[in-house]
Amino acid sequence: MKSSIYSSIYFLWIVSWSLTAGAQGTSGVEAAEVQTVQPKIMVIPFTKEGEDLRFVLEEDINRRIAITKIKEAFDSRSFTTVDFIARLKVAKDNNLFMTDNQTDIKSQIIQMSGADIYVQAEIDDQNGQSGRSVTVLLTGYEASTGNSLSNKVGNSGTFFTDDIGKLTSKAVERIAEDFLNVLQVKFTEIVNNGKSVMVDVGFDLGSPYSMASEVGDEGLPLSDQLEIWMEENAFKNNYHIQGTTDSKMIFDDVRIPLKDPVTGNNYNPNKFALEIFMFLRKIGLKPSKDIKGNTIFITIN
């Protein structure tokens, strides 16, 4: 009797151990296999009206110092940034700039680099009777939406020196860590509440449909069908409608998860666009899709 109790306990222990080990093993494999896609970050200099972004860095060592110091801060957190100077050189060598408009050149470099986030560094040098000081303004933007992610102003303090590079370096050092901390808080917010994408639904010129067209089995207006779908599929039901007209419906902020909740694989705007595409096909429409960064354009033919 006693030995059968012992053997039952031993059997149960073996079973529970193997189940626990199995479970740990599975989650370990999943965690190892799926690596979260990290955002691409690029540090660029601020340019004043009329300044040519292409030559500004070559001429100004202090802006190069500021950019390098900020990149150093990212490196210290084991994060690799997209190198602006390298991208600029490639673009110049290949004559990729289609325009001389400074604003367009900046957007072209950002677009060409594939950066999700860009950090703009502005330097202001003040020289007075009490000495010289440098102020550095760091601003982090989300490239697709223009949302501001982190902002810091750092001052070097006033010194009797002509070494602006050293002052710039001092000013950046004072705020770089804090700047990254705020950026990391925003990343956490994105991990928890999803990444923001914009969905623009419109119609082809010859399309017989409008947002008021009654479609699907329930015969609901298309705009309502879209909203019901978005309600069910936006991450944590988080979406915002900018506006609806007869010919357009714009969701200016739809949250999508970073990881597919079912498979655990990385999720992106392209996959979300495919889901919208499949839904529209299901309710009898002929859509086409186009994705630019984090903006999804759906055209109903």
Q: How far is CA 99 from the centre of its chain?
A: 26
Handedness of CA 204, 208, 210, 214 (dihedral sign): negative
Is 185 an interacting residue with respect to another protein (CB under 8 A)? yes
Q: How far is the CB of 201 from another protein (least distance, A)?
A: 27
Q: How far is the CB of 181 from another protein (least distance, A)?
A: 6
Applying CB under 8 A, among 34, 39, 51, 220 the residue interacting with another protein is 39
Q: What are the phi and psi torsion angles at 142 (to 5°)?
A: -85, 120
Q: How far is the CB of 182 from another protein (least distance, A)?
A: 8
What residues form DSSP beta bridges with 121?
45, 138
Stretch that binds another protein, among 57-65, 72-80, 89-97, 133-141 (CB under 8 A): 72-80
Q: How far is CA 48 from each of CA 138, 143, 160, 243, 273, rounded to the nearest angstrom?
A: 15, 19, 27, 35, 38
Handedness of CA 291, 297, 298, 301 (dihedral sign): negative
Is 187 an interacting residue with respect to another protein (CB under 8 A)? yes
Applying CB under 8 A, among 181, 247, 265, 270 the residue interacting with another protein is 181
User: How far is the C-alpha of 257 from the C-alpha of 240, rounded, in Å?
Assistant: 16
Is 193 an interacting residue with respect to another protein (CB under 8 A)? no
Stretch that binds another protein, among 50-58, 59-67, 177-185, 196-204 (CB under 8 A): 177-185
Q: Which of residues 229-248 bind another protein (CB under 8 A)?
A: none
Q: How far is the CB of 76 from another protein (least distance, A)?
A: 7
3-state secondary structure string across 41-99 = EEEEECCCCCCCHHHHHHHCHHHHHHHHHHHHHHHHCCCCCECHHHHHHHHHHCCCCCC
Nearest to 236 by CA among 266, 257, 260: 257
Stretch that binds another protein, among 50-58, 96-104, 155-163, 174-182 (CB under 8 A): 174-182
Applying CB under 8 A, among 36, 94, 95, 129 the residue interacting with another protein is 36
Binding site for another protein (CB under 8 A): 36-39, 74, 76-79, 173, 177-178, 180-181, 183-185, 187-188, 190-191, 258
